[in-house]
Amino acid sequence: MAAPLRLKPLSRVAVSGGTHGNEMSGIYLAKHWLRDPRELQRSSFTITPFLSNLRAIEKCVRYVGQDLNRSFTTEFLSSVKAENEPYELNLAREINQTYGPKGSAQAFDFMFDLHNTTANMGTCLIVDSEENLLSMHMCHYIQTHYRLSPCPIYLYKSPDEEPYTIYSVAKAGLALELGPQAQGVVRADLFAQMRALIACGLDFIELFNKGTVFPAFEIEVYKFTGIVDYPRYPDGEISAMVHPKLQDKDFHPLNPGDPIFQTFSGEEVLYEGNVTIYPAFINEAAYYEKQIAFVKLEKHIFSIPSLQRE
Amino acid sequence: MAAPLRLKPLSRVAVSGGTHGNEMSGIYLAKHWLRDPRELQRSSFTITPFLSNLRAIEKCVRYVGQDLNRSFTTEFLSSVKAENEPYELNLAREINQTYGPKGSAQAFDFMFDLHNTTANMGTCLIVDSEENLLSMHMCHYIQTHYRLSPCPIYLYKSPDEEPYTIYSVAKAGLALELGPQAQGVVRADLFAQMRALIACGLDFIELFNKGTVFPAFEIEVYKFTGIVDYPRYPDGEISAMVHPKLQDKDFHPLNPGDPIFQTFSGEEVLYEGNVTIYPAFINEAAYYEKQIAFVKLEKHIFSIPSLQRE
């Protein structure tokens, strides 16, 4: 049995909307909270909502120069400001100064990051890895208390990879990935879900700060293992679409031999892996340029030790 | 009883994909047909597929300088090329030279224009007005022969308005508006629907050319009567979302007193009109900048005279 986790109370929490400037649930939530922050108030800590990529939000695009949510590596953060560098590079340094610096004692205790996807991922919770025990406890609390839909947990980080997302500047974090929602659109149903998930996460922090002991548990998670690109013509253009039987089936099992693509000429392309995987980000609009038709996930069960305040 | 319509056979038909560069069904259909046009071949006329806004397609945006599908007015088409003019202005003039000129005897006989919407408009057929009798006959043929989903007919033009869409350069035209589909995404289901609708429209032309007589009929249509903007704060920002009870209810009746918006603070906004209307383009991503939350349609029944070849 792993040792109980003992942590100091959390005092400063941030919530980022608009890390991608065309994912509207978080943008309109953050804009609303900046006008009226009352629903964010808790007695034991402060919550700071902010709009992270203002220029991308104004243009209603994912990013202006480079993907902000891939810009928080040590290499990027420690780079020297250069002329003609991508807009998001300096933005990442500024966000790191305000809410970090990454890895330092001054960093914010926690950051929520609000995203949408065109994929049918429901109310998905994204964490670096199962080693982020505080975030895993929050996910468990949300899964137990937010009952309107399942909240699958997606661990995105490969073992040897450095965290590169915006919330990595804080001491811990969680991204919400809600879909399906078209870019540039705010749907009332997803807006309400995101709002309720954040309220649930803040309630968890309040309980922790006030001394609640959270027992150990086992938890099912989906862990990133790789990507699958679209079939392509020799000139690089995609030659196929996500198969109708795979479309919208995020987090469903995909078995060897199952259809994954349909070419524009009408042929089926089958999954050639050796084991069952769980696809996610299926047909995500922003991933065409990243050459990702879907990501491959493996299902795991992890044991998380108990948590309490120091 | 109106006089029968007698028209010459159609000899040249064009199909535009990518009039909006992030509406992917038509873009990938046109790209496919440019590689392999076999399925477009008919014996009595030629079909020319083309990608209309290449620069917008490359950037995966609706347009680069101005909305191409609002650029085919006489004023725009007759303007003199100027430095720093919007990219689409010259593009419209070029398309008009190739497939028109608008209103001339040399113009193509028919143009299909392929669109997607983030709204739940299903397989919608868009025509200027009920006075476009050839297009109305095609719509009727499609409604009778394409049985996988209803195909509501949307008449977009106000009585005193000049046609401004890309297909107005041809002698007649029809736009397909399929949704919901996120910008930048191609879904196999909508792709197959659009492909089948075009095949159906081409079959109609082939039958007409070969002498089939199409009897008179009465047909139900939805006619544009105005738009509804989002509620806004004094600074111009939207203060509300489409109400969950209205979301996805395109072409359903909306009655006075029905909820249409939900403010970010949670209040309901009710429809204050005096009569039942039929909303469409509900929560279309591209219409936020046009200040349109949805368009208002009225239902009409029109009598269309019989059609046969001269």
In tens digits, chain B (310 residues) has pLDDT values of: 678 999 999 999 999 999 999 999 999 999 999 999 999 999 999 999 999 999 999 999 999 999 999 999 999 999 999 999 999 999 999 999 999 999 999 999 999 999 999 999 999 999 999 999 999 999 999 999 998 999 999 999 988 899 999 999 999 999 999 999 999 999 999 999 999 999 999 999 999 999 999 999 999 999 999 999 999 999 999 999 999 999 999 999 999 999 999 999 999 999 999 999 999 999 999 999 999 999 999 999 999 999 999 9
Q: Can you give the pLDDT at residue A147?
A: 87
- DSSP, collapsed to helix, strand or coil, labels residue B74 as helix
Asked whether residue B144 is domain-assigned, the answer is yes
Q: Which helix (H) or strand (E) holds B112?
A: strand B110-116
Q: Can you give the pLDDT at residue A1?
A: 61
Q: Can you give the pLDDT at residue B159?
A: 85
Helix spans in B71-132 (H): 74-77, 87-99
Asked whether residue A141 is domain-assigned, the answer is yes
Six token digits for residue A170: 């804080």
Phi, psi of B17 (to 5 degrees): -110, 150
- DSSP, collapsed to helix, strand or coil, labels residue B49 as strand
Asked whether residue B266 is domain-assigned, the answer is no
Q: Over 80: is that where the pLDDT of A244 sits?
A: yes
Cβ–Cβ of B288/A118 closer than 8 Å?
no
Number of structural domains (chain A) is 1
* Interface list for chain A against chain B, based on CB atoms closer than 8 Å: 28-29, 31-32, 35-36, 60, 118, 180-189, 191-192, 233, 237-238, 241-244, 247, 262, 264-265, 283-286, 288-289
- DSSP, collapsed to helix, strand or coil, labels residue B23 as coil
Angle at the Cα of B292 from the Cα atoms of B290 and B296, rounded to 5 degrees:
140
Q: Can you give the pLDDT at residue A3?
A: 86
Neighbours of A48 (CB within 10 A): 17
Asked whether residue A287 is domain-assigned, the answer is no
Asked whether residue A293 is domain-assigned, the answer is no
B29 CB neighbours in chain A (<8 A) are: 264
pLDDT digits (tens, 9 = 90+) for B196-205: 999 999 999 9
Nearest residue in B to A186, CA atom? B241
The DSSP output letter for B1 is: -
**Cβ(A116)–Cβ(A176) under 8 Å?**
no
Catalytic entry in A75, A177, A206, A237: A177
Residues of B taking part in catalysis: 177
Burial of A79 (0-12, 13-18, 19+ CB in 10 A): middle
Instruction: State how far residue A241 is from chain B, nearest Cα, in angstroms.
Output: 6
| Distances, alpha carbon B244 to alpha carbons A123, A186, A191, B261, B262, in Å | 17, 11, 10, 8, 8
| CATH label of the domain that carries residue A211 | 3.40.630.10
Query: Cα(B135)–Cα(B125) distance, rounded to whole angstroms?
Result: 10
Nearest residue in A to B264, CA atom? A32
What is the average per-residue pLDDT within A231-256?
A: 98
**Cβ(B248)–Cβ(B280) under 8 Å?**
no
Nearest residue in A to B116, CA atom? A182
Mutation for B interface: A58, A181, A185, A238, most B CBs within 10 A: A185
Q: Which helix (H) or strand (E) holds B178?
A: strand B173-179
Mutation for B interface: A33, A51, A241, most B CBs within 10 A: A241
pLDDT digits (tens, 9 = 90+) for A108-165: 999 999 999 999 999 999 999 999 999 999 999 999 999 899 999 999 998 889 999 9
CA quadruple B122, B295, A185, B28: dihedral sign: positive
How many helices (H) and strands (E) chain B has is answered by: 6, 14
Q: Can you give the pLDDT at residue B1?
A: 61
Query: Cα(A20)–Cα(B78) distance, rounded to whole angstroms?
Result: 40
**Cβ(B306)–Cβ(B214) under 8 Å?**
yes
Asked whether residue A128 is domain-assigned, the answer is yes
Asked whether residue B284 is domain-assigned, the answer is no
The DSSP output letter for B100 is: -
Nearest to B244 among A188, A233, A284 (CB): A188
CA dihedral B257, B260, B264, B267 (to 10 degrees): 10
- DSSP, collapsed to helix, strand or coil, labels residue B44 as coil
- DSSP, collapsed to helix, strand or coil, labels residue B50 as strand
**Cβ(A132)–Cβ(A198) under 8 Å?**
no
Q: How many CB pairs under 8 A join A and B?
A: 91
Q: Can you give the pLDDT at residue A158?
A: 87
* Interface list for chain B against chain A, based on CB atoms closer than 8 Å: 28-29, 31-32, 35-36, 60, 118, 180-189, 191-192, 233, 237-238, 241-244, 247, 262, 264-265, 283-286, 288-289
Asked whether residue A156 is domain-assigned, the answer is yes
- Containing domain of residue B135, as a range? 5-220+303-309
Contacts (Cβ under 8 Å, ≥6 apart) of B42: B202, B203, B205, B206
pLDDT digits (tens, 9 = 90+) for A248-264: 999 999 999 999 999 99
Six token digits for residue A58: 């104004």
Query: Cα(A208)–Cα(A7) distance, rounded to whole angstroms?
Result: 9
